[in-house]
Structure 1
């Protein structure tokens, strides 16, 4: 049975809980027809405060997830996983609660109807009330919540998040936040009741309260230790992220709200607090843990550039799709794109742990369409080269190139960099061997003929050569007879007859298995017979135009079950699923292979790579048909 006051009254409403702000908005609209006294406009201030408070939590969460800024200042190094994100999904419930409590308190207590905008005495009074009332009250209440019964039924939810984040501050039970609301609003009410209240005082106190709560939960140490060495007493007046992080890890100490003074007075101060803070602060300028594997990704389009954890953590934890509420942010993303295009370096956006190895995703700040601009090629290659050299200097073992970063026309599938820098210690991998294996695993053994576009590309060539060895007739769409003959000669003599050059889509009007490696229009798709299945390895994916046909996803694999700290989806992939080229790099790292995987795909290694992937727990993914064994 659920303990009383542990569940939120509106927890079953989902997104409809925001309709609870409706009465506040109605009151504001009604006040426009009446006088503008404080009594009538209080609801407006409540709505503005809720919006600003939510913005502060979002802003601080975004900052804490900016690995390119915070990676060397993080207190706990593990990533925030999907479980924690889902658990903290309704972190903002307390904002609704405090809006209701604030409004109720305003109409219950004899607060002056017209508060001034500013009152110096009010700021002094609220500071005194906070230090003498809120701090000891919270300390005592917090300590009580760590008792057996209250912790189990009410406070354990707050401590269940393994990595503190600003949103963690809001993730707790109803009773927990009722107490917190009292701590927050008692100084405000007290100051107003003694006649010293002001609008600015209310705004400043509430927003500063939230900012300090976010500071304690941000998991990023931003306060330099030198300031405490210069002013020793200051360490008892303001806590640090390290200080509060110790409370989450080693319960039984550091109970204070914002002032460690009360922990010192109550003999609950963790003895490691200052030394650990000094250690983390000193090491902030050093290079932290070096990833074993890096996936060098790129942005597909402007809208998808917002699908990263440091924009909206919750949205990034779901497969990418264009959402209406993000459309107004498009101009901002466009301006950022221009700035990054002009001057930007590769930066880290996410990481996860697998088999004790750190895997990071770095992103080249270039959008998909830029890869097809001839004048942009040199700049893009320079950024990719810089990322590879940076990984080499850091000691990264494997760096895998995402789809367009290994474009054949751009850099020969990574060959350009390997030939230019012969002494690279980091292994450069395009991962296409596993991509080919995933696509081929979807081709049933009884298929006798396939139609292949993008037939002379790296993947197209490998797929064609592999299938012809299985005595599958491959209709290779290409206008270049020279390139076709070159590939055909690579096949064993007895199997060359299974490779057939075609120059028009009409040639596939009777073939129900299409492998698409080059983007095709709806008009070109119309030549496929009814019941055709479109396998594809083209970025971006083709439009699902035909209702009488089925479409496969891009080649992808699900990461092993023991992956830790993974909290964002890779583009349109489901949770825990990555593109096959990404998985190919992971496999390269797990196997400890020492060769570069660039340029043409070694067809003889496809079966080897496939078996190794299955051995390590990588699972093929297909949303349209059952996988078959190769």
Structure 2
């Protein structure tokens, strides 16, 4: 049984908890319709403050997750995993709680918002005095009490259970903790107002500044230069830093203050390493961070999918991508941001995770999917990919894997262009298609005797056809180019060449129940498949599941090993912990320590080698879980 005031009364309501804002919203609408004014009503101010507070936390979250800006300033270098994200999912409970408390306060003190002025300079002086003399010491004492054995176990341990600090961690606490914090925050506001010095600007200013400083302490990014404290030493006792608060979570018997370390100094709980560590983190921000062992060079699919990033909405990025209505109002902002990325013209660090002590990062080339099919954009795209490869080589990356369109055969020959141009590369360029082919091939039942293959003369199509014919599987290769078909057929051993058959129409597969789709097909073309057909596919984007009497496979993907750390974002439409097979192929290349480039045509003889290596390192095909 939970301790009293440890659980939230609406925790079982999930998303429906936001309906508790309904009475406030109804009051605002009523005032707007019948009183022709909403700006003077306290309900309006409470709702507006809640929205602004949520925005403050979201902006801080976005900043702390912009790894391309903050990676050298991060205090704790670990990534935030799905477990922590789920634990902090309802971080905004305190906003709802304080909105309800504010509503009750306004009923008890009706003039609270109706009679107070917009501005009162004296009120700010009084508010600051009340904060320093009452709120700061009250929080300090309460915080120390919460670290007592019983209170910590039943109330405060939740807040400290997040291994990596994040702005949302500030709101992740039990009901009792947030009630205490509401009291600490409310004393200066209520005191100033009841003494006749309150103002609307005072309420907005104090509440938003309070949230700003809370986010600052939990952001895990040191943004305060140590030079400021060297020039004005007394400031270190008046304002805490992210490093200072991070030490409290690392050594919990120290640094209990709200915002002012002065009270830790007075209470003799000041961590002796606070200033030295702050100086070190701040100084190291000018240096390059830890070099990743592996880089996956991804690209944006479209503007909507560009919103599937941790620095946009962390919770949304932790789930497989699906286009949702709430994304539509954000579309113009996403377009503007992408235009800025184009103007900046650099690859961006998107996310990272650790696997067996090796740092894996995802870099993103700021180009949309449709641009890869524009002839005049080819040179520019290849230039950005080349710059990313050279940068990886310069900083000491061991393996860089090219995602989907970044290794397009028509674009750069599956990475061959860069390897031939820079034969001295130390970083190994990998397209990962060998493992993609292995995943597709191992998903085909062993008793299948005939398959229909579209995209048959592509890099993957060729490898799949050559591999299957040696398993004595008849492959109907859909292609209009007899020359390209014959070139592939000649690569097969003489005894198996007759298993490769050229077809030019979809009607040829009307009796074949195993389709391998490497080129996008329309619902009309799917209609030629017989009932019970299973569509394996390696086409981007995936084909539409038009036939209800058929089954559709997902894109080739593999689940990362269980010991992966710091993974908190889903790779496009993949489930948690699942990456595209080409991404996994680069991971295997690194873990095996292979020293060759994997570019150009797929070496059919290595398909089984790569597959066995992937299984050896704990990667699992997603299809085997279904």
2:481 aligned partner: 480
Whether 1:46 and 2:49 are equivalent positions in the alignment is: no
Partner secondary structure for residue 514 of structure 1: strand
Deviations 1:263-304 (A, max 9, x none): 000000000100000000000011010000000001111110
Indicate conservation of the 8 Å contact 1:37/1:114, yes or no.
Answer: no
Find the counterpart in structure 2 of residue 520 from structure 1: 521
Q: Structure 1: how far apart are the matches of 2:342 and 2:173?
A: 42
Mapping of residues 386-401 of structure 1, within 5 Å: 386-401=387-402
- TM-score (norm: length of structure 1): 0.98
Give the distance between the partners of 2:38 and 2:372, measured in 1 at CA: 58
Query: Residues 552-581 of structure 1: CA distance to partner in whole angstroms, max 9, x if unpaired?
Result: 000000000000000000000000000000
Shift of 1:367: 0.9
The residue that corresponds to 1:370 in the other structure is 371
What is the aligned length?
624
Distance in structure 2 (CA, Å) of the matches to 1:99 and 1:400: 49
Residues 1:139 and 2:140 are matched in the alignment: yes
Aligned twin of 2:10: 10
Which stretch shifts more, 354-363 or 111-120? 111-120
Distance 1:461 1:389 in 2: 30
Query: What is the CA–CA distance in structure 2 between the aligned matches of 1:124 and 1:324, rounded to whole Å?
Result: 45
Question: Offset of 1:37 from its aligned partner?
Answer: 9.5
Q: State the Cα distance separating 1:104 from its structure 2 match.
A: 1.3
CA distance in 1, matches of 2:427, 2:58: 37
Counterpart CA distance in 2 for 1:530 and 1:366 is: 40
Contact residue 46 and residue 99 of structure 1 kept, 8 A: yes
Q: CA deviation at 1:397?
A: 0.2
- Aligned partner of 1:459 in structure 2 is 460
Q: 1:581 matched to which residue of 2?
A: 582
Structure 1 residue matching 2:41: 3-state secondary structure: helix
Pair 1:183 & 2:189 matched = no
**1:392-431, aligned counterparts within 5 Å?**
392-431=393-432
Structure 2 counterpart of 1:92: 92
Quote how far apart the aligned CAs of 1:519 are: 0.8
SS of equivalent to 1:164:
coil
- Cα 1:592–1:11 shift into 2, 3 Å: same
Matched-pair contact (CA < 8 Å) for 2:38–2:44:
no
Displacement, 1:35? 8.4
CA deviation after TM superposition for structure 1 residue 334, in Å: 2.3
* Aligned match of 1:614: 615
Residues 327-372 of structure 1: per-residue CA shift (max 9 Å, x gap): 1111222233334345421110100000000000001111111111
Change in 2 beyond 3 A, CA 1:229/1:343: closer
The answer to whether the aligner puts 1:215 opposite 2:216 as a matched pair is: yes
| 8 Å CA contact retained: 1:295, 1:401 | yes
SS of the residue 1:69 aligns to = helix
Q: How does 1:157-176 map to 2 (within 5 A)?
A: 157-176=158-177
Per the TM alignment, residue 30 of structure 1 is displaced from its structure 2 partner at its CA by 2.6
Q: Secondary structure at the match of 2:545?
A: coil
Rounded to whole Å, the distance in 2 between the matches of 1:121 and 1:293 is: 57
For 1:490-501, what aligned pairs fall within 5 Å after superposition?
A: 490-501=491-502
Return 505-514 or 559-568, whichever deviates more. Answer: 505-514
Distance in 1 (CA, whole Å) between partners of 2:143 and 2:334 is 42
Gaps in structure 1 of 5+ consecutive residues: none
Structure 1 counterpart of 2:130:
129
- Paired residue secondary structure (1:46): helix
Corresponding residue of 1:599: 600
1:27: how far off?
A: 1.6
Q: 1:68 maps to what in 2?
A: 68
Residue in 2 that maps onto 1:305: 306
2:270 aligned partner: 269
3-state SS of paired residue (1:471): coil
Cα pair 1:111 1:193 within 8 Å, conserved: no
Match of 1:233 in 2: 234
SS of structure 2 residue aligned to 1:195: coil
SS at match of 1:351: strand
**2:326 corresponds to:** 325
Segments of 5+ residues of structure 2 without an aligned counterpart are none
User: Normalising by the residue count of structure 2, what TM-score does the alignment of the two structures yield?
Assistant: 0.98
Residue 174 of structure 1 deviates from its aligned partner by 0.3
2:503 is matched with: 502
Q: Is contact 1:5-1:175 (8 Å) kept? A: yes
SS at match of 1:622: helix
| TM superposition shift of 1:111 | 4.8
